[in-house]
């Protein structure tokens, strides 16, 4: 990979709307959020905008690193880091995170039979009041591709 390509991959990225909601939706279950906020994010991601919360919800992660093997095709996992804590998920949950990272534009990288996708400094803001309007707004994320 050229220096120019690696610089491009390291540039901060943003996404909004349905992709941002999806990214927040797959990370929030593992994030250190109050139960009420996790429930609201899950409701939004499940198509229900009628939640009792009106203040903005911020979903953050220091790093999200996913890998899938293209040799052992049953192997897929993601490590989500929040502060000093890392949570590892496998299988269906990891696949959902991996696919959502790709949807958000996180570039893949590969080595020795493994495909990686990684992002750092994830910050997603969900505004319940705007989401309830059902006009496409209310969800914004920023992150740095790579780790």
Whole-angstrom CA distances from 68 to 37, 64, 76, 132, 146 are 30, 14, 4, 36, 16
pLDDT digits (tens, 9 = 90+) for 109-128: 988 899 999 999 999 999 99
Whole-angstrom CA distances from 51 to 19, 24, 34, 36, 38 are 20, 16, 14, 10, 11
The length of the chain is: 147
Q: Where are the domains of the chain?
A: 13-145
- pLDDT beyond 60 at 10: no
User: What is the C-alpha separation between 21 and 54, in angstroms, rounded?
Assistant: 16
- Which residues make beta-bridge pairs with 47? none
SS3 per residue for 80-98: EEECCEEEEEEHHHHHHHH
pLDDT digits (tens, 9 = 90+) for 12-64: 899 999 999 999 999 999 999 999 999 999 999 999 999 999 999 999 999 99
pTM (predicted TM-score)? 0.89
Q: Model confidence at 76, in pLDDT bands (50, 70, 90)? A: very high
């Amino acid at each position: 990979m050229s220096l120019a390509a690696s610089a491009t991959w390291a540039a901060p990225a943003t996404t909004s709307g349905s992709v941002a909601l999806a990214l927040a939706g797959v990370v929030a279950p593992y994030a250190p959020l109050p139960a009420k906020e996790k429930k609201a994010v899950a409701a939004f991601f499940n198509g229900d905008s009628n939640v009792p919360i009106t203040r903005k919800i911020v979903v953050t992660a220091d790093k999200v690193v996913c890998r899938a093997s293209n040799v052992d095709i049953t192997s897929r996992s993601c490590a989500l880091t929040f502060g000093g804590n890392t949570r590892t998920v496998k299988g269906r949950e990891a696949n959902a995170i991996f696919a959502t990272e790709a949807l958000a534009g996180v570039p893949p990288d590969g080595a020795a039979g493994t495909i990686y996708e990684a992002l750092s400094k994830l910050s997603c803001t969900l505004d319940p009041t705007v989401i309830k309007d059902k006009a496409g707004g209310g969800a914004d994320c920023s992150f740095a591709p790579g780790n």
